[in-house]
Amino acid sequence: MTGAPRLAATGAGDVAAVRAQAVAYCEALHHARADVLEAMCDAGFAMRAPATTGAAEAGQDPLRWDRATFTARVAARDPFPGDPSFEILSVDVTGDIAQVRLWVDVPPRRYEDFLGFVRTGADWRLATKLFRTARGPALEG
């Protein structure tokens, strides 16, 4: 097929690098390390959660945050005590893009996150985050 784009080779090293970024993301959330998240996120980072059931019924938009809003929320709180609680459920890398599915505890909630990474040079940058509250009180604002 002439002119078709070629995917970059994906190897175990790519999967390990993306997994390491996902672990660093979970640890940064737990320890309120906005600086780590700021450095990890792509300039065009976008984060979105579906509207809660009541909000959706009322016609409200889902939650949408950019990098600055996301990192400011993390910076505004204290680190959580103890060790981080999370599990990386899957890592899928294809060429220069990757998706990670995980859960992470951010008391009093457990979130299920779908993280989208893009390779920029030798680095994997967090480009998107879709999430939902898996357990705990509904998220507002």
Tell me, what's the pLDDT at 4? 41
Distance CA 24, CA 15 (A): 14
Tell me, what's the pLDDT at 133? 86
Residues in the chain, pLDDT under 50 = 1-8, 141
Tell me, what's the pLDDT at 123? 94
Tell me, what's the pLDDT at 10? 63
Tell me, what's the pLDDT at 64? 86
Tell me, what's the pLDDT at 43? 94
Give the other-Cβ count within 10 Å of 52's Cβ.
17
Place of tokens 């990757």: 98
Domains of the chain: 12-135 (3.10.450.50)
C-beta separation of 85 from 67 below 8 A: no
Tell me, what's the pLDDT at 2? 43
Tell me, what's the pLDDT at 5? 41
pTM equals: 0.84
